Amino acid sequence: MKVSLVVPAHNEEKYISVCLESIAKNGEELHEIIVVNNASTDRTQEIAASFSKVRVVTEPKKGANRARQKGVEESSGNIIAFIDADTKMPENWVKEIITNFQKDEELVCLSGPYIYYDVSALTKVSVWIYWNVFARAAYLFTGYMAVGGNLVVRREALEKIGGFDTNINFYGDDTDTAKRLHKVGKVKFNQKLIMRTSARRLKGEGFVLTVYRYVINFLSEVFMGKPINNDYKDIR
């Protein structure tokens, strides 16, 4: 089993070094590491290219799903993992991926929750409630759920559904992917497959507004097949 890691990155000079350092430390089982420089105007490409085991490719048209699709096209693994450039890969994350896909041939998509590493204790409790109450219930109801920055897919299944929908700019992109993959195999949301990430959007937009936007667009994708919001604000 070969696991390719794809890291979409748009103007991530503040975070990309920490992300890649965590990958170097905890991702030794990875087949390859690809950073997709997605229309950056800062030092993202330069910083990413300074890491010896990282290959940098370019997607000039902005959009997370466009960057992910570019990473798919450039990768060679039969399992493709995606994390965001402001995340810190935990120890044993890759091992957990390999274990899950080796045990279940029907598994086509694996994902898990975010844990924010730079928030207050109260916010951490609120986030825990979000994942263990709303998210758990939503997953049990739909049978699918995914987080774009903590996402692993089987290449064969992704090809069957035609790859990522590059018409979706931001909100609902992960739900759309999980929903379509659910039609060709098992989508597993594992509460133990945690990815540590920055809380820049929570801090920039506020906890309540951020949660509202993600929830309403999740529901819109589930019941209407498209996100309500196709516009979003970059927070860097």
DSSP the chain: --EEEEEEESS-TTTHHHHHHHHHHH-TT-SEEEEEEES--SSHHHHHHTSTTEEEEEE-S--HHHHHHHHHHH---SEEEEE-TTEEPPTTHHHHHHHHHHH-TTEEEEE--EEESSS-HHHHHHHHHIIIIIIHHHHHHHS----TTEEEEEHHHHHHTTS--TT--STTHHHHHHHHHTTTSEEEE-TT--EEE--HHHHHH-HHHHHHHHHHHHHHHHHHSS-S--------
Mean pLDDT of 121-128: 93
Q: Looking at the predicted structure, is the pLDDT value of residue 156 above 90? A: yes
37-41, 72-76, 207-211: range with lowest mean pLDDT: 207-211
pLDDT value of residue 231: 81
Q: Looking at the predicted structure, is the pLDDT value of residue 221 above 90? A: yes
pLDDT value of residue 145: 97
Q: Looking at the predicted structure, is the pLDDT value of residue 229 above 90? A: no
CATH topology of domain 3-224: Spore Coat Polysaccharide Biosynthesis Protein SpsA; Chain A (3.90.550)
Mean pLDDT of 91-112: 97
Mean pLDDT of 76-98: 98
pLDDT value of residue 45: 98
